[in-house]
Structures are given as structure tokens and as C-alpha cells.
Amino acid sequence: MDRVRILFLPGVDADNTNAQSLNVREIALRLDPGRFQSTLWYEHDPDPRLRDRPAIRLLKLPSHGKTWTIFREMLSGYDIIAYMDYSPATYLFLHLPHSARSPAQAVFHAEAPSAQFVNPSTVLRFLYGGTFPRCDVYTAITEFVARDVCNNIKKRVNFILPVGVDTKAFTPPAEREHDSPVVLFVGTVIERKGPQHLIDAAGRFPNAFFRIVGAGREGFSGVLQQRVEQSGLKNISLDGPKTQPEMLEIMRESDIFILPSRLEGIPKVTLEAAATGLPCIVFRDYETPSVIDGVTGFQAGTVEEMMQALERLIADPSLRGRMGAAARKHMEKFDWDFVSRQWQSAYLEIAAKPVR
């Protein structure tokens, strides 16, 4: 049997920290090279792990004419085009008759609820409406996201495909011994992610230290910094964006992870934090399977419940230790070596389907 040819659309530059880019690299690196050939895009410098791999082909995007370059490649006889996006190239491809783009199966991987699509521009709204509903196959990161796909565009999700974490890279430290526990937030620093709640928590729990790590957007980092300065708080820092290796060390130096966002799929940072042995506090709104309530951390229903959970963990080192150990154990189910086998089985099934 010929190898299944897959074109992944997210770029895989080494400095790209976008979740889809990181996921695509982990999947491509683990697909059986005897059964799959993966093609991936980069603009400047690809992740070095992808170079000189027997079944991975790297294509450099030009500085001009990206849309036509991608569109032509999509017509090059692939079995699967994965991670369909809202780009002009995807729009053009999905508006061709199936006979013109055969045998390619266009696969949309839904990784978050549609409500994350906030205040799109007119152009983006047009592209979204002309791409998302026209794909051939739909996968979802969780059952919750699958229901969202069904409710919002009336499409049946064919596969539930979670994302994973490299548990060999993300490991706990030998010990955690802080007089003042360190509470960590990692994510894009925007209002929707809820980092502002850490400022309130820093005022409420002066015996803990709070770190906000991530790139700001829409000027929100400045808003938070101003609040911190006006409050006079000394137990909170805004540390800006960090590389993956830096993030790993920060997680190892922390004691509790908190993500006050109400709109996610499986937050990648909760997998990484749990793998380093951190109990995690999240909202239950999106039903992430990465946190088992009361076992590996807490899923809160309200901000006050989140603060009460945080208070328990700050006050009780033994509880932090038990939940952190359980979180690390739970991540065995999300190790990329295990999760990628689910993706491989799904891709083999998708490639075997006739195009409609």
C-alpha cells in the first residue's frame, strides 16, 4: 500500500509557539514513516527536529504569493489536507468541485468552541463562513467541542482527537520547597483569558507570589501593569512571553497553576503544568479532561469558587503534593506517544474513505 500523503497547513517555524503549530510538529514526528508522508510549511527556520526525517517534507513559503503557493500545493494529489484554516487558499480550494481536488480529504480539527471567534473582521467572517462548513471530515479535541460543532454548524464530528504533552520533556522537579507558594498563569494576556483575576488574588493572598506569563494583546498587559502599580502589590509580576524551555523551568519553579479562562478546548498549558506536577485550577465551563476535579486540581463554577480552591492549595502543601502527583500520573493518558496513535488510526481511516 502506498504511503498516505498528508499536507499540514500550520507553519512549523522553530519560534512559532502557536498551539496548532506545536501540535502538528508532535503528530508529524510520530506518524509511522512506513505508512505516512507529511508535508509541512515554514517561513524562516523550521523546528530542527523536523529536518532530515525520512517521511517529512519541508516547504518554504515565499515572502510574496503565499496564497497561490499554498493553493497549488493543495492540488498536488494529497490524500489528506489537515488543519484546514480560514485562509484565502483554503477558501479557493474548498470551492472547487470535489472531482477537481480528489483524492484529498479536507479535515477540520476543532480545538475550541466557536464562541472563541470573537469580533472577527468582515473578511475573516466571510472566509470562516466559506470554509468551516465545507470540509469533508471534522474532528474535535473534546466531547464538549464536538457538541459545539454540531450545534453551531450542524456538522457531525467524525473523531475525538485530543492533543498531548511530551512527558519526557515536561517533568517535575526533584522537590518543591517555597516558603511562599508560587501561583502561575500562562497564556495570552487578554481579558478573555482572565489574568486580571490574579491581581485580585494577589491582594487576597499576600502569603503567595503570583506570576503572569505570556504575550500581551490589545494593550491589556499595560492595563494590568497599571493596576499592579496602583495597588502597590509586591507579590505579583508580569513576565511577558517566554520560550518553551523557559516555560518548562518556570513551571518547575511554581507550585500551583491557574487558568481563569471560561472558553477553551483542552488548554495545552494545563497539560504541560500537570506533567510538571502542578495542581491546576480551571473553570468547568468547557469540561476539559485535563483536570480531574478534586483529584488533580479543581474545576470551579464561579470566580469565588476558584478563589476558594486557590486558598485551599495555598494553605496546604500536602494537598498540593498529592494533587500534583496525581496530575503527573494523569498525564500518562495524554503523552504524545500515546495520543499520536489515535491520530494515526484516524488518518488511516480518513484516507481510506472515498471523497464525496
* Annotated domain spans of the chain: 4-164+335-352, 182-334
Q: Which residues, in sequence order, are CB contacts of 344 under 8 Å at separation 6+?
A: 30, 31, 32, 35, 36
Region of 277 (left: φ > 0; alpha: ψ -120 to 50; beta: rest) is left
Residue 79 pLDDT = 96
Tell me, rounded to whole angstroms, the distance of Cα 307 from its chain centroid.
25
The answer to whether 4-164+335-352 and 182-334 have equal CATH topology is: yes
Q: Which residues, in sequence order, are CB contacts of 192 under 8 Å at separation 6+?
A: 118, 261, 262, 263
Q: Are the C-beta atoms of residues 49 and 12 closer than 8 Å to each other? A: no
Beta bridge partners of 60: 42
Q: Which of 202, 197, 183 has the alpha carbon at shortest distance from 304?
A: 197
Residue 104 pLDDT = 94
Torsion angle defined by CA atoms of residues 25, 29, 30 and 35, in that order, rounded to the nearest 10 degrees: 120
Q: Are the C-beta atoms of residues 50 and 29 closer than 8 Å to each other? A: yes
Q: In terms of CATH architecture, what is 182-334?
A: 3-Layer(aba) Sandwich (3.40)
Distance CA 7, CA 39 (A): 5
The per-residue pLDDT string of the chain (356 residues; one tens digit each, 9 = 90 and over) reads 589 999 999 999 998 988 899 999 999 999 999 999 999 999 999 999 999 999 999 999 999 999 999 999 999 999 999 999 999 999 999 999 988 888 999 999 999 988 777 778 899 999 999 999 999 999 999 999 999 999 988 999 999 999 999 999 999 999 998 889 999 999 999 999 999 999 999 999 999 999 999 999 989 999 999 999 999 999 999 999 998 899 999 999 999 999 999 999 999 999 999 999 999 999 999 999 999 999 999 999 999 999 999 999 999 999 999 999 999 999 999 999 999 999 999 999 999 987 66
Correct CATH for 4-164+335-352 of 3.40.50.2000, 3.30.9.10, 3.10.450.40, 3.40.630.10 = 3.40.50.2000
Distance CA 222, CA 73 (A): 42
pTM for this model (two decimals): 0.93
